[in-house]
């Protein structure tokens, strides 16, 4: 539905202009708007074609085992400064450690026999589940041999959560200052 013209929209005639002048000016503006709209449509068609070509390249890369998300992240990172990337990675690693997620390559896991790695992974998954506040139930992918390791990690995370939730003061006043103010 067309919008009703108001005086704020410029929908009134200018007093010193004849009706014919106003009609000519109106047609002039319509012509310019149509021409520009055609340019926009042509540019959009070119952009859509280029975007489709980019998507095809990402699909080709996917068939070779590279996900679009990881490729796009590398392309985006290549535009940032090295200093910013280092700071971002250090922060990300710290936050991942706090969340009980692997950070970096974790070279300490290389060379361990599979059962030892499985136990470490089960405990780490338990820790992650505990930090999220999930029920203490190991997933089906965790062997019953490692349920105790899962529970060990879950309990460690629950202790960590309790400490974090109970250890943060409501404000900057110490307990003695709060009691003295009361």
Measured CA to CA, the distance from residue 51 to residue 29 in angstroms comes to: 32
Measured CA to CA, the distance from residue 86 to residue 97 in angstroms comes to: 16
Which regions of the chain does DSSP assign to beta strands (E)? Answer: none
Nearest to 93 by CA among 102, 81, 84: 102
Q: Are 128 and 101 in contact (CB under 8 A)?
A: yes
Give residue 10's region: left, alpha or beta (phi > 0; psi -120 to 50): left
Question: Which residue ranges make up each domain of the chain?
Answer: 106-166
Q: Are 110 and 138 in contact (CB under 8 A)?
A: no
Beta carbons within 10 angstroms of residue 118's beta carbon:
16
What pLDDT score does 100 carry?
Answer: 80
Over the chain (182 residues), what is each successive 10-residue block's mean pLDDT? 52 77 93 96 97 97 96 89 87 89 66 80 89 89 92 92 71 51 46
Q: Are 152 and 126 in contact (CB under 8 A)?
A: yes
What pLDDT score does 23 carry?
Answer: 92
Nearest to 150 by CA among 113, 104, 112, 158: 158
């Amino acid at each position: 539905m067309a919008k009703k013209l108001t005086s704020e929209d410029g929908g009134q005639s200018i007093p010193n202009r004849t009706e014919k002048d106003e009609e000519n000016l109106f047609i002039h503006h319509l012509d310019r708007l149509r021409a520009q709209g055609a340019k926009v449509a042509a540019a959009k068609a070119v952009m859509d074609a280029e975007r489709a070509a980019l998507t095809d390249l990402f699909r080709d890369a996917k068939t070779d085992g590279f996900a679009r998300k990881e490729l796009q992240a590398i392309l985006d990172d290549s535009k940032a400064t090295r200093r910013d990337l280092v700071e971002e990675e250090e922060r990300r690693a710290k936050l991942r450690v706090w969340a009980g997620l692997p950070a970096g390559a974790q070279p300490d896991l290389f060379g361990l026999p599979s059962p030892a790695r499985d136990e470490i992974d089960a405990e780490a998954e338990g820790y992650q589940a505990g930090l999220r506040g999930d029920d203490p139930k190991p997933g089906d992918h965790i062997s019953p041999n490692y349920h105790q390791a899962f529970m060990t990690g879950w309990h460690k995370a629950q202790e960590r959560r309790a400490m974090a939730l109970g250890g943060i003061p409501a404000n900057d006043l110490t307990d003695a200052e709060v009691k003295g103010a009361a």
